Structure 1
Amino acid sequence: MRAGRGRRRWAVCLLAALALFVPPALPASAHAPTSAAAARAAATPEVIPALTGWTAGSGTLQLQQGSRIVSPAAKRVPAERAPAKRAPIKRAQADAATFADDLAAATGLRLPVVSGGEPRAGDLVLRLDPGARELGAEGYELLVSDTVRITGATDDGLFLGTRTVLQMLHGQTVLPRGRTVDVPQYPERGVGVCACYIHISMPWFERLMREMSYLKLNQLWIEAKVASDDYPKTKFWGYYTKDEIRQLSAMAKKYHITLVPEINSPGHIDPYLQNHPELQLTDSSGAKSPSRLDITRPEAYSFYTGLLDEALTVWDTPYWHMGADEYMLGSDYAAYPQIAAYAKAKYGASATPQDAFIDFVNRVNAHVRADGRTLRIWNDGLTGENTIALDKNIDVEHWTPEAQQPPSALLAQGHQVMNSAYSLYLIRGGSKMKTQALYDSDWTPLRFEGETLTGPQPQVTGAKITMWPDFASEQTENEVEADAFMPLRFISQATWGSPKPAATYTGFADLANRLGHTPGWNNVTRLPLKDGTYALTLPDSAKRLTTAGTTQGAPAKLAADPDATWALSATPDGYYRIRAVRGGTTTGNCLDMVSGRRYLGAPLEAGATITQQSCSDNTRTQRWQLTTKGDTVTLVNAISQLGLAQNTDGLAVQMPPDTQPPTALRPVAR
């Protein structure tokens, strides 16, 4: 596993010694370099995260059509050792194919992949060397001479070395000769995405994972609901189907990313408890709390562990995150006397209500560990008011100060601790990371909220940025993607731990923009139609998308209306605004999604009617993603991520794709 427990940072002095090693003189390139290329060869390659060290050679290496990617060859081993030996080879061979695709996108060179054999000049050689202990679990050696040789002790390290080569090429086909040994300082270099309540599209997640791999980020926390067969009352949008979760797991494996899925409990569990009032925590006045699980009820524990067991049949992960944050947000334990009574009955007269909370977390931990996984929680539920101890083998993600349980106390108790600080949050439609201030202040994962640690801290596993959807209707996911560009690059640099590549944030941002997105980024088609006026017709019918009247709020429908047309115009974030046209005149009404139940401002009720509303540039629910298939398009709302479909009455409604796929419409230009 990538970000496994017990891994330790390699000593800085060892890295420095390796970086200062000067290789023998490298032969000059057969192609005389230009003055620009010569200058580039003499400098440390520009990559994010920066290299731990670089020893320049003489000249450059030109990749050509005759170059090849040489992947590790499988070796004959005794049968009893074959599974352990062949798995890294198999993954490395798959990574070679990914590398070939990325090189083609970056340079236009489509290089063949061969397995083993004697390298030729100009080849890119991928080499696994389990004995190279100085490389650790994710480090690699890169040597550019007559060949490009990437060596990793593991397939993870080998893959990360290919990411460096992609950045060094900068879309060209020339590499400076030289050598580096590059090892990360922290084993967990992460990103978090709360796809809680709302559904974030699968293409968005794939673009994120590709960006993460390009930047050597290796962990993705996702809070997302798996559509349950065992608990059908919990299935309401925005869930993910089990096939979608399998796809996310496959993507993560391809890009060497460890997934950390979460179902939050015992607080913030309303996405599951909405239709289970019997499990909701009830206060002393008899009022139920739909966001809180009643931890005193045995059936509540069975309900939660049943959900996680079902989810873990499709998540491919060594971890489970149970959240455990903000259980008493906006209230306190005194309003729920049954919790104190439960704690005292189980742990004695001196027990506190928080003992019941810790007890619930520890029981979930035992359940998760019995399945061979590690439990993770947020830190804010740990106030120090408990008399029983939290299990030491639970990893804690620290995001907010707790006076009685600062990071140093959690470390002293034996926990692995990840820095998930509030200062690293991107709030959808709300506050954003102050990335420039963090970079210019030399922020490191040792700077927690409320406490900065010093000296070696091997139990501090790393850090992550986290994206939250608090104001989901205020930004599209494409806008969130744009906001994350520099934070992703910052956390990559901060967690790799190498010297900063630029003294100031301005220089760092300039470098980031020069390097750009991962290869192939511009191949994503988001605007398949030119701006213009279109009739949106059913392919095998005279029916068109129209509205039941011309007034604001009139429902959209599919009906025989030969005059119904729509003006499509691209928005700055890659969607379309769809404006009604009547009698050849563009009206002030736009296709919108405002009906039905809302969560975090987002209209998420399946079957809710789509209407026309007064057009506004700032109304994100009026933005639609168009996807083409042949000569037809489908419409998906940019905020709800639900597709436009017709119900039995012919009205246009939004529906989950697994329940009713979006209706195919043929756009005919007018």
Structure 2
Amino acid sequence: MTADAENTPRWLALPQPRTAALTGGLWRPASVRVVADDPAFAREAVRLEAELAARGMPSGDRSIIRLVATAPSAASTEAFEIDIADDVEVRASSPVGIFRATRQLLHNLRAQGAVPHGAVRSAPSVPERGLHLDAARKHFPTESILALLSALADVGLTSLQWHVSEHEGFRIGSEAFPEVVSAEHVSRTDAAVIAEAAADLHIDLIPSLDMPGHLGRVLAAHPELRLPGADGNPIEGALDITRDEAVAFARRLIDDVAPLFPHSTRWNLGGDEFVDFARIDDHPALAGAARERFGDRATGFDLLTDFVNRIAAHLRDHGFAARAWNDGMLRGEVVALDPDVTLTWWTNWHVDMRPLSAAVAAGARLVNFHDGLFYYVLGEKAGYRYPTSARIWEAEWHPGLFPSLPDGTRQEIAAPYPALLLGSFFSVWSDDSDAQSVEQVLDGIRSPLRAMAERAWNGGSRLRLAEFDEIDARIGVAAPPASAAR
């Protein structure tokens, strides 16, 4: 172990706990036994014993780690307490809370070879902290997604939003529509492996099947369902939502994919960049259908909102809570967005997009996808730069800090956060699929993703950037868990 660990114990883990009262001394027994006082924690006990054995601490009675159930926490099911002396007691109200706590122990072992004695307490500031992965433009093999799940779980992230369909590819197996599937894709058998691995690691796997836009690959096989453009020619990637048969086709796409996500409860249906929203009135098919259905005041945005509402209802029948990107939402004249649709708020780049204040006033649930800080766009297309921990710290980002308006006006929800602010996500977008290999992507996102994890858990961070960077480097990369073995 290092000299600083011997002389001045520090808690070297990410995300940092809310409090760490260290008392001096270090825990590093020759052997350890993990005991689950509650049967619900049995899986975590088995997992932790195997992980400690892999670090040279075999099963034995030199020390005991006891996993103890507490009453449900008002703060979060992820809240935990750890007391470390000759033995260790980990307390939480749920298996995920135990899991979060045991990652903290493992980080210290990786960073400094021992765990400081003391009392540690923590709970997250927001319930969701995740990663969106565009595995549609670029194929991410099953093994890489399993490794990514391990990396997310290692630093307390809760969710992987798996984007499977784009203009350039449809990357998950289909029984109903095999003609739309790309040659390189994740099979339905492997998708089941991914779903089980995610559940075992307490990761919510969120399908992202964008519609009615971003359907270029799908509609290449079904060109009769394309929306007519302003010039009468079909728009290659846009579904013709003026026709009931096209909406029924969208439902069947969902019906085909939904069984691959048996543990999931959320679904991102997209709703973004369907047409050029700044010129939506130039699409007579949309405007005409909207007025016919909803009256003379209706616009294409009303038709889009109605489509999102109809798809959200269909997803609800499957047991999924619907989500949609913010840029086309809250812009209708007569059709209100289903209040159960959560807005995944990525941008306010155009002056006509509704501000965050409108969503708050409407009582919409929000997830912060801040594109200026957390969009890892391959090839740095569309003016994006690869995120860095330095820029995240410079912005003093926290989960309530959203992208600014076009005039630079700051958009922020202050802590303590209201229940409508669900959390924040980092995003990988594969615009230039050849710009980086899969391995380069996973390596490139590691530090800024961990920076978001630290600041999302804590609503900011007490760490200085240099301290974060040091801990990030010292904890290294976790070995893939046994659950990821195929």
C-alpha separation between the residues in 2 aligned to 1:237 and 1:332?
35
Asked if the contact 2:79/2:92 (under 8 Å) is kept, the reply is yes
Query: Matched residue pairs, number?
Result: 461
Is 1:265 matched with 2:211? yes
Letter in 2 for 1:275: A
1:347-403 per-residue CA deviation (whole Å, 9 max, x = no partner) reads: 112111211000000001111112222000110112624321101110001111164
Instruction: Give the structure, 1 or 2, with the largest relative contact order (CA under 8 Å, sep 6 or more).
Output: 2
User: Any residues of structure 2 matched to 1:101-180 within 5 Å, and which?
Assistant: 101-105=50-54, 107-111=55-59, 122-129=63-70, 131-134=71-74, 136-170=76-110, 174-180=114-120
Q: Secondary structure at the match of 1:472?
A: coil
Q: Which amino acid aligns with 1:449?
A: P
Deviations along 1:526-562, whole A, 9 cap, x unmatched? xxxxxxxxxxxxxxxxxxxxxxxxxxxxxxxxxxxxx
**Aligned partners of 1:37, 1:497: CA distance in 2, in Å?**
24
Aligned to 2:309: 362
Q: Structure 1 residues 342 and 330 mapped into 2: Cα distance closer, same or farther (>3 Å)?
A: closer
Q: Contact between 2:230 and 2:284, CA under 8 Å: does it hold in 1? A: yes
1:511-660 to 2 correspondence within 5 Å? 511-519=471-479
Matched, 1:48 2:48: no
Q: CA contact under 8 A between 1:197 and 1:271: conserved in structure 2?
A: no
Instruction: Report the CA distance between 1:125 and its aligned residue.
Output: 1.3
Which residue of the other structure, out of 363, 367, 373, is the alignment partner of 1:418?
367
- 1:341/1:498 Cα in 2 relative to 1: closer, same or farther (>3 Å)? closer
**Which letter maps to 2:371?**
Y
Aligned to 1:562: none
Q: Which one-letter code corresponds to 2:120 in the other structure?
A: T
Structure 2 distance, partners of 1:135, 1:350, is 45
Does the C-alpha gap of structure 1 residues 34 and 192 become closer, same or farther in structure 2, counting only changes over 3 Å? closer
User: Is 2:245 aligned against 1:299?
Assistant: yes
Change (3 A) 1:184 1:455: closer
**Shift, 1:236, TM fit:** 2.6
Q: Which residue of 1 aligns with 2:407?
A: none
Give the TM-score taking structure 1 as reference length.
0.66
After TM superposition, the structure 1 = structure 2 runs for residues 121-270 of structure 1, keeping only pairs within 5 Å, are 122-129=63-70, 131-134=71-74, 136-170=76-110, 174-224=114-164, 225-270=171-216
Q: Contact between 1:270 and 1:290, CA under 8 Å: does it hold in 2? A: yes
Alignment partner of 2:161: what SS?
A: strand
Give how far 1:410 is off. Answer: 0.8
**Letter of the structure 2 residue corresponding to residue 355 of structure 1:** D
Match of 1:28 in 2: none
C-alpha displacement of 1:145: 1.9
Residues 229-288 of structure 1: CA distance to partner in whole angstroms, max 9, x if unpaired? 112321233432111211111111121111111111001111211110110111243311
1:59 maps to 25
CA-atom RMSD, angstroms? 2.2
User: 1:61 Cα shift?
Assistant: 2.7
Asked if 1 retains the 8 angstrom alpha-carbon contact of 2:302 and 2:331, the reply is no
Is residue 2:446 matched to residue 1:485?
yes
User: Structure 1 residues 448 and 331, CA, compared in 2 at 3 Å: closer, same or farther?
Assistant: closer
The corresponding residue for 1:378 is 325
Q: CA deviation at 1:184?
A: 0.5
In the other structure, the counterpart of 1:641 is none
Alignment TM-score, normalising by the size of structure 2? 0.89
Structure 1 counterpart of 2:225, from 268, 279, 291: 279
SS in 1 for 2:63: coil
For 2:463, which of 502, 527, 540 is the aligned residue?
502
Task: Work out the CA distance in 2 between the residues paired with 1:511 and 1:34.
Answer: 13
Q: Which amino acid aligns with 1:223?
A: H
Q: Tell me, what secondary structure is at the counterpart of 2:58?
A: coil
For 2:330 and 2:67, locate their aligned partners in 1 and report how far apart those are by CA, in whole Å: 49
Q: Does 1:349 align with 2:296?
A: yes
Q: CA 1:296–1:132 in 2, change beyond 3 Å: closer, same or farther?
A: closer
Q: Deviations over 1:40-94 (max 9, x none)?
A: 43x4x111111100112343333222x21112343xxxxxxxxxxxxxx1xx322
Contact conserved, 2:5 with 2:112, CA < 8 A, in 1?
no
Residue of structure 1 in register with 2:427 after alignment: 466
Q: Secondary structure at the match of 2:221?
A: coil
Change (3 A) 1:111 1:390: same
Post-superposition shift, 1:202?
A: 1.4
Q: Quick one: distance in 2 between partners of 1:474 and 1:180?
A: 42
Identity %: 25
For the 8 Å contact 1:95–1:254, the answer to whether it is kept is no
Q: Does 1:324 align with 2:284?
A: no
Structure 1: gaps of 5 or more residues = 1-32, 75-88, 113-119, 525-670
1:69 correspondence with 2:34: yes
Deviation at 1:211, TM superposition (A): 1.2
Match of 1:437 in 2: 391
Distance across 2 between alignment mates of 1:64 and 1:172: 16
- Corresponding residue SS for 2:259: coil
Unpaired runs of 5+ in structure 2? 165-170, 405-410
Shift of 1:290: 1.6
Q: 2 CA distance for matches of 1:443 and 1:395? A: 22
Question: Judging changes above 3 Å, is the alpha-carbon distance between structure 1 residues 288 and 499 closer, same or farther for their aligned structure 2 residues?
Answer: closer
Letter of the 1:514 counterpart = R
1:520 to partner: Cα distance: 5.5
Give, in angstroms, the shift of residue 177 of structure 1.
Answer: 1.3
Q: Would the alpha carbon gap of residues 380 and 439 (structure 1) be closer, same or farther in structure 2, given more than 3 Å must change?
A: same
Map 1:16-35 → 2, pairs under 5 A: none
Residue identity in the other structure for 2:157: L
Could you tell me which residue of structure 1 aligns to residue 400 of structure 2? 446
8 Å contact 1:281–1:289 — kept in the other structure?
yes
